[in-house]
Amino acid sequence: MAGLLHLHSTLLPSASALRRRAGAPAPSSSRRCFRVEAKIREIFMPALSSTMTEGKIVSWTAAEGDRLSKGDPVVVVESDKADMDVETFHDGFLAAVLVPAGESAPVGSAIALLAESEEEIPAAQSKAASFSSGASSSPPAQETAAPEASAPPPPPPPPAPVAISAPAPPSPATQGGVRVVASPYAKKLAKDLGVDLFSVTGSGPGGRIVAKDVEAALAAPKKAAPVTAARPDVPLGSTVPFTTMQGAVSKNMVESLAVPTFRVGYTITTDALDQLYKKIKSKGVTMTALLAKATAMALVQHPVVNSSCRDGKSFTYSSSINIAVAVAIDGGLITPVLQDADKVDIYSLSRKWKELVDKARAKQLQPHEYNSEGRKWCFGYSVVNLKMKGTFTLSNLGMFGVDRFDAILPPGTGAIMAVGASEPTVVGTKDGRIGIKNQMQVNVTADHRVIYGADLAAFLQTLSKIIEDPKDLTF
């Protein structure tokens, strides 16, 4: 029952990884460093079944530092169907475990590093450090910097070069001295949601942290984030060249002008959706995941809206519904993709989303997890030859209070939906009364070569029905 372990030679390391490696004591020369590089392999989460999108590490059968021969079991993975022992395809040493037992990782993401020889273990481990502490070491201040420390305790990262304006998480030293009393469920939630318990104020008996405190802590910084990020540190009066990502965005935006697009808007009442969200928020479900799920379910009924025009002569109907969601990151925009959003249940989808965003912000996304060209960071809309890509894009500016906006269609896809804020609105009801309902406006931009006005109208009608009666979302 052994699944295949996907091993690939390491891709080019990121700049920060190189920096760190240069500072690490082990490699003595740059030549050696280069040689070492080629012999550290990433162990990827294997796909154990055709429907598996993420796998949970049940246990590591090998420990860090263990010598492994080809065919040795390394890890037990729980998929949606069964548990399987996974074997290695290469000889070497298990240098670093990136995803500890009990946690999940998407199919294809690195879960461990395999070093070819024993002396390469330190190099691999410093590489691992760049994986797990990527967030804290990347130079620009990130809006997630405050409470969302990654769950596995990373090796102590080097001091961050730039001071962060948001309240910094307490250092490990203070954590050692202070006792935190948190209930078992609060601890579990904090771990699942990536909340640092030291930043949470307890409201339970004796100041104990209970589940709702963790949820409150999770909600709070999200609202605060735009405020703290509102004063960007830009060198006024100078010209700053595009980064690679910004350059790619620019190129794509110009390319988009070649596509004949049009727009259809719709107002959707979200009272029921808000209520559902409140109910299942504690299980880690996010509004983004709910919207992605609703959209995917509507797309099932309107496959043409999920299609695209590749050559100007034909419809390309996508076999799966993959929702790309635009996420602002410092210095650009990426679009992590929620694969098979129509099929994956809402809880898994939310977990997956959280994971992708964390990784995106730490710049760790695997190539198939974001929409891009090759390995370049670019305005994630253009995708042609990648295995994993978004077939429909969501862009949401509602959290800023934006009530409606207009999105540019990413080349290569058929449609993008711009989602505004849901706000209490005075409405006239059918029985002639006046009431207040929460409503949001959505606005879809589509390629008119394949998607016509009536297609979008019908799609939006379906979507509004799903959102206004959202009970099917949690199936």
What is the torsional sign of CA 56, 61, 63, 69? Answer: negative
Nearer to another protein, 150 or 474 (CB): 474
Q: Is 302 a catalytic residue?
A: no
Q: Which of 204, 247, 303, 367 binds another protein (CB under 8 A)?
A: 204
Q: Which of 176, 177, 205, 241 binds another protein (CB under 8 A)?
A: 205
Q: Which of 188, 212, 375, 376 binds another protein (CB under 8 A)?
A: 188
Binding residues among 330-359 for another protein as defined by CB under 8 A: 345, 347
Nearest distance in Å: CB 320, another protein: 23
Q: Which of 39, 90, 187, 281 binds another protein (CB under 8 A)?
A: 187
225 binds another protein per the rule CB under 8 A: no
Residues in the chain: 475
Q: Which of 177, 206, 374, 428 binds another protein (CB under 8 A)?
A: 206
Only one of the segments 29-37, 170-178, 199-207, 336-344 lies at the binding site for another protein (rule: CB under 8 A); that segment is: 199-207
For residues 109 and 239, give the distance between their C-alpha atoms in angstroms, rounded to a whole number. 38
CB atoms within 10 A of CB 118: 12
82 binds another protein per the rule CB under 8 A: yes
Strand-by-strand arrangement of the 73-78 sheet: 83-87, 73-78, 54-60, 104-106
Nearer to another protein, 118 or 469 (CB): 469
Nearer to another protein, 146 or 189 (CB): 189
Determine the distance from the C-alpha atom of residue 371 to the mean position of all C-alpha atoms in its chain, rounded to a whole number.
12
Is residue 217 within 8 Å of residue 149, measured between CB atoms? no
Per-residue interface string for the shown chain with another protein, residues 52-71, x marking contact by CB under 8 A: ------xx------------
For residues 174 and 198, give the distance between their C-alpha atoms in angstroms, rounded to a whole number. 9
Only one of the segments 7-15, 204-212, 256-264, 299-307 lies at the binding site for another protein (rule: CB under 8 A); that segment is: 204-212
**Residues whose CB is less than 8 angstroms from the CB of residue 137 and which lie 6 or more positions away in sequence, other chains included:** 16, 20, 130, 157, 158, 160, 161
Binding residues among 157-186 for another protein as defined by CB under 8 A: 179, 181, 183-185
Binding residues among 94-133 for another protein as defined by CB under 8 A: 102
Is residue 285 within 8 Å of residue 346, measured between CB atoms? yes
Nearer to another protein, 172 or 207 (CB): 207
Nearer to another protein, 208 or 343 (CB): 208
Strand partners, 264: 444
Burial 174-206 (b: 16+ CB within 10 A, else e): eeeeeebebbeebeebbeebbbbbbbbebeeee
Q: Collapsing DSSP states into helix, strand and coil, what is residue 209?
A: strand
Nearest distance in Å: CB 81, another protein: 8
Nearer to another protein, 112 or 210 (CB): 210
What is the torsional sign of CA 90, 94, 100, 102? Answer: positive
Alpha helix (H) ranges present in 264-330? Answer: 271-280, 287-301
Only one of the segments 28-36, 75-83, 293-301, 407-415 lies at the binding site for another protein (rule: CB under 8 A); that segment is: 75-83
H or E stretch including 9?
strand 6-9
Nearer to another protein, 178 or 426 (CB): 178
Nearest distance in Å: CB 185, another protein: 4
Indicate which residues carry an active-site annotation: 448
* Residue ranges in contact with another protein by CB under 8 A: 58-59, 78, 81-82, 102, 179, 181, 183-185, 187-188, 204-206, 208, 210, 345, 347, 474-475
